[in-house]
Amino acid sequence: MSETTDFKALVPEKKEGTLRLVSNNILHQAIVNSEERLLGLIAAYKVYDADIFSLQEVDRVWREDYHFCDTMVSLGYAPAKGHENSPTPVFYKVDKFNCVDSGSIPFDLTETPEKEGRTLWWACLEEKERGKKIIATSCHFISSGGKATNDEQKAHRELHRQTCARQLPVLVKGLCEKYGAVGVSAADFNSNCNSAAYSILSSTMNSARELSPVKVNMEYMTSCWIKRAPYLEPMTAIDHIFYTDGITPVRYEVFIKEFSYAYTDHVPVFFDFELN
């Protein structure tokens, strides 16, 4: 693996006046536990030039044993208040934003047979320069496999994802109205582009994947394995970004570089955009 300073040339340049959100599932440290993973991810995050990170699978080992939040702070980011112990935290660049408010909202799963809890974590971020506000969220939909051992259980998990997909745009809209903000929602949705959950989300919010004028590596999966590049399989991406009106998309990229998949089982997704 190259030195960190060599990675910068491989990262797409961010257009002046745009913001960059990077979404990345970093894989539970409890599954593959090593300090090398922390060092590798941080080396990559140093050069991604993200203004906002929406992350998933930041488990207790990441937070307590490897001090992930403290390390992100050393890079100039802060976790939204209350997100320090979140498995799906939002981090923001402290020289770019003030965090006006933040919190979490559990999805209502009372009508679903599968009750495994899922939560929408959100932050209202205000640009220091212009005062414009954005609701940035992160979450992690239930997987298609996991504990499912038969078709009925798989169907229950599919209903679980669809239920969360219906609620997410409503929750984001409510937050945007409350704070006078626009919204951008990133997640490991565990839902490919042909799924019902993706269809629900893309019919009620704007899909960065579909609407960005510049799109890069759309033919790749976003899931992979450590040190294994994702396959070329169109429509199988499960990590997505959706946004509300009031945002102009500029560029969307599934970031496929050796150092982007060397330390986790999902490659990051980049979304560059402008606030109207």
Residue 68: name the closest of 98, 35, 103, 96 by CA.
35
* Any domain includes 175: yes
Total count of domains within the chain:
1
pLDDT higher than threshold 70 for residue 147: no
What's the pLDDT at 150? 82
Helix, coil or strand: residue 210:
helix
Interatomic CA distance for residues 220 and 228, integer angstroms: 13
Is residue 10, in this structure, part of any structural domain at all?
Answer: no
Q: Rounded mean pLDDT of 229-253?
A: 97
Residue 218 lies in a domain: yes
The answer to whether residue 5 sits within a structural domain is: no
**For strand 77-79 and strand 90-93, is the pairing parallel, antiparallel, or unpaired?**
antiparallel
Residue 84 within any structural domain of the chain: yes
Would residue 11 count as lying in a domain? no
Contacts of 131 (CB under 8 A, 6+ apart): none
Domain contains 248: yes
Split at pLDDT 50, 70, 90, the class of 149 is low
**CATH code of the domain in which 107 resides:** 3.60.10.10
Cα-atom radius of gyration of the chain, to the nearest Å?
A: 17
Residue 55 in domain: yes
The whole model's pTM is what? Answer: 0.96
Confidence of residue 146 (pLDDT cuts 50, 70, 90): low
Taking 50 as the threshold, does the pLDDT of residue 40 lie above it?
Answer: yes
Chain centre to alpha carbon of residue 189: 9
Which H or E element spans position 198? helix 196-204
Higher pLDDT, 129 or 1: 129
Structural domain including 66 reads 18-275
Measured from the Cβ of residue 242, the count of other Cβ atoms closer than 10 Å reads 27
* pLDDT tens readout for residues 150-208: 888 889 999 999 999 999 999 999 999 999 999 999 999 999 999 999 999 999 999 99
Q: Which residue has the higher pLDDT, 2 or 68?
A: 68
| Alpha-carbon gap, residue 197 to 164, rounded angstroms | 8
Integer Cα distance of 247 and 183 in angstroms? 8
The reported pLDDT for the residue numbered 1 is 46
Here the tokens at position 171 are: 């929750």
Secondary structure (3-state) at 244: coil
What is the average pLDDT across 233-258?
97
The per-residue pLDDT for range 43-65, each reduced to its tens digit, is 999 999 999 999 999 999 999 99
Per-residue pLDDT tens over the stretch 85-139: 999 999 999 999 999 999 999 999 999 999 899 999 999 999 999 999 999 999 9
